[in-house]
Amino acid sequence: MEEHVNDQLKRHLRRLATERPYQVVAGSAAALLLASGTGALLVAVGDAPAPQRTTNAAVAEVAPRLDGAASRAQARLAVPASPSASPSSSSTPNPDLTATATPKRTTAKPTAPKPPSSKVLDYDYEAQTTYYYCGPAAVRNALSATGVASTQDGLAADLGTTEMGTNSAYDTTRVLNEMVKGAPYRTRLIPAGAATPAQTDQLKADVVKAISAGRGVVVNIAGDATDVDGGWHSFPGGHYIAVVGYRDAGRTVRIADSADPAVPAYWISTAALAHWAATRGYSA
């Protein structure tokens, strides 16, 4: 009987040697269990080691190891190869390709209103009280258009006026800026014997700017001039007048003249006024 069992074990072990690992485990377990019933395990394959006793615990230890190896092999087969990396949908988009940059907000500079083609100031005319007070009177008439009250005597003291008159347009500019908020007046000189076209254009621009702002202009003149109505005005020793208005976009100006209360005002071309102010200047 024992020989019959040993023959069966030999055949079974030969078959196990050709089976897959998991079959070896199952078969080995069965063989071990069978051998434990007879009390011995005989192995006679080639130069196999001498038979040894084993227990069910040995089978239980081998099986998990092989099962683990199989599980790892199955895991490698089950997990597909990672595809090549693709751009992440959460990556930051290129603003040059995906969006239009927000334009910078710009604030347009307010455009200055265009001056009117004609304007005459509301002023309070006063003739000069002495023959040499033309300077104080012209400044006083110009200031009245700005709403500044003054007297010829007070202005004469500020201007340094004497019986020889008032020195120059620098003095009228200085006093006007002392009386008008913001000191807006500037002195313009026409030093040659005749005004150039550029100086005439500058006078026109200065008059339009000042009158549009509500300020009169004071001009130091010398010599003769004819107004648009043919009136002749002669001051060979020099004189001061106030410009209180313009028309034709500044080509013609309104003069407040303190010399003769019978002719308190008249119109004259700006070109004629520029030549009249040659060798002198004006405050605008």
DSSP 277: T
279/166 Cα distance (integer angstroms): 15
List C-alpha distances in Å: 212 to 73, 97, 139, 207, 262: 98, 53, 18, 8, 28
pLDDT (0 to 100) of residue 145: 96
Nearest to 241 by CA among 220, 222, 226, 260: 220
Nearest to 186 by CA among 151, 213, 158, 156: 213
Residues 264-284: tens digit of each pLDDT:
999 999 999 999 999 999 999
With a cut of 90, say whether residue 15 has pLDDT above it. Answer: no
Split at pLDDT 50, 70, 90, the class of 111 is confident
pTM: 0.63
* CATH class of domain segment(s) 119-283: alpha beta
Lowest mean pLDDT among 45-59, 186-200, 233-247: 45-59
71/77 Cα distance (integer angstroms): 10
Strands 280-283 and 187-190 come out as antiparallel
Domain residue limits, the chain: 2-77, 119-283
With a cut of 90, say whether residue 188 has pLDDT above it. Answer: yes
Straight-line distance from the first to the last Cα atom of the chain, in angstroms, rounded to the nearest whole number: 144
